């Protein structure tokens, strides 16, 4: 029997494909009556918020020195400017799950680092954190007992729209017909126009939640030292920042 050796990226791709739910087209979902209404995917007139919050967003720093979302591309692959209010746009829905009718969007696109993540849940809005820390972007393996942050991903301090509180509405989506709560479902399948809500990717209540907002204004990009100072104040050990080449070399030596 011939042995087939897969690279890590090939293995991850097969794993994603195996775990991907069967999807039906947006057109079929519309015919069956459970597609996301068009009005929920359009921001409409933007009104600058009176109430704002402060949060932190991960960006991919492009070779052109501009900011791009790390997973889901901006409309027309545009960069994200600093100092102006930016109402969110809705990513294209690529399909709906047959079992529970959940809309899915495709990761990746020009300027992002989301390639290979496959179809993701449709939660339109700007995704941020209460502090500049996100487990999902850390490298899989630790180096010298420290977590590793990919060089090229940066944190920005942002203001976000907070006039409308969507928390209760978002939480309502987390309950099944049997009354069981599923934290991963507790997000809005529509643009949170003029407001925001918190969403947890992890059921552990001690984990840092995301903030999903309808509009943001990027104040400034933080240096790694500024990020580290915030994390230390929160009692979190800052990760090591490494390039892909440095990370591969370090993990190879550790074998």
pLDDT band, very low/low/confident/very high, at 48 (cuts 50, 70, 90) = very high
Written in H, E and C, the secondary structure of the chain is CCCCCCCHHHHHHHHHHHHCCCEECHHHHHHHCCCCCHHHHCCCCCCCCCCEEEEEEEEEECCCCCEECCCECCHHHCCECCCCEEECCCCCEEEEECCCCCEEEECECCCCCCCCCCEEECCCCEEEECCCCCHHHCCCCCECCECEEECCEEEEEEEEECCEECHHHHHHCCECCCCCECHHHCCCCCCCCCEEEEECCCCCCCCCCEEEECEEEEEEECCHHHHHHHHHHCCCCCCEEECHHHHHHHHHHCC
pLDDT cut 90: percent of the chain above it: 68
Residue 177 confidence (pLDDT): 80
pTM, 2 dp: 0.86
Q: Is the predicted pLDDT of residue 11 greater than 60, yes or no? A: no
Residue 184 confidence (pLDDT): 85
Q: In whole angstroms, what is the distance from residue 119 CA to residue 97 CA?
A: 11
Residue 74 confidence (pLDDT): 86
Residue 242 neighbours by CB under 8 Å, 6+ apart: 139, 143, 148, 149, 150, 151, 250
How many Cα atoms are found within 13 Å in the side-chain-facing hemisphere of 158? 34
Q: Is the predicted pLDDT of residue 238 greater than 90, yes or no? A: yes
Q: Is the predicted pLDDT of residue 130 greater than 60, yes or no? A: yes
Residue 192 confidence (pLDDT): 98
Q: What is the mean pLDDT of residues 87-105?
A: 92
Residue 54 confidence (pLDDT): 98
Which tens digit of pLDDT belongs to each residue from 73-89? 888 889 999 999 999 99
Residue 182 confidence (pLDDT): 84
pLDDT band, very low/low/confident/very high, at 21 (cuts 50, 70, 90) = low
């Amino acid at each position: 029997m011939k042995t087939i050796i897969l690279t890590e990226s090939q293995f991850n791709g097969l794993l994603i494909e195996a775990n991907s739910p069967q999807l039906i087209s947006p057109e079929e979902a519309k015919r069956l009556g459970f597609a996301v209404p068009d009005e929920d995917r359009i921001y409409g007139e933007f009104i600058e918020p009176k109430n704002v919050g402060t949060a932190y967003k991960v960006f991919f720093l492009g070779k052109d020195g501009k900011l791009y979302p790390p997973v889901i591309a901006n409309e027309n692959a545009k960069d994200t400017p600093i100092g102006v209010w930016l109402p969110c746009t809705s990513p294209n829905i690529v399909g709906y799950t047959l079992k529970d009718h959940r809309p899915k969007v495709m990761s990746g696109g020009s300027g992002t680092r989301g390639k290979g993540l496959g179809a993701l849940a449709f939660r339109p809005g700007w995704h941020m954190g209460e502090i500049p820390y996100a487990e999902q972007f850390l490298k899989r393996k630790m180096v010298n007992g420290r977590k590793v942050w990919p060089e090229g991903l940066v944190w920005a301090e942002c203001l976000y729209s907070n006039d409308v509180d969507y928390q209760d509405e978002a939480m309502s989506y987390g309950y099944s017909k049997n009354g069981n709560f599923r934290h991963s479902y507790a997000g809005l399948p529509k643009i949170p126009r003029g407001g925001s809500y918190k969403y947890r990717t992890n059921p552990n209540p001690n984990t840092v939640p995301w903030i999903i907002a309808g509009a943001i204004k990027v104040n400034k990009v933080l240096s790694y030292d500024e990020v580290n100072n915030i994390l230390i104040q929160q009692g979190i050990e800052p990760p090591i920042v490494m390039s892909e080449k440095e990370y591969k070399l370090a993990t190879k030596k550790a074998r």
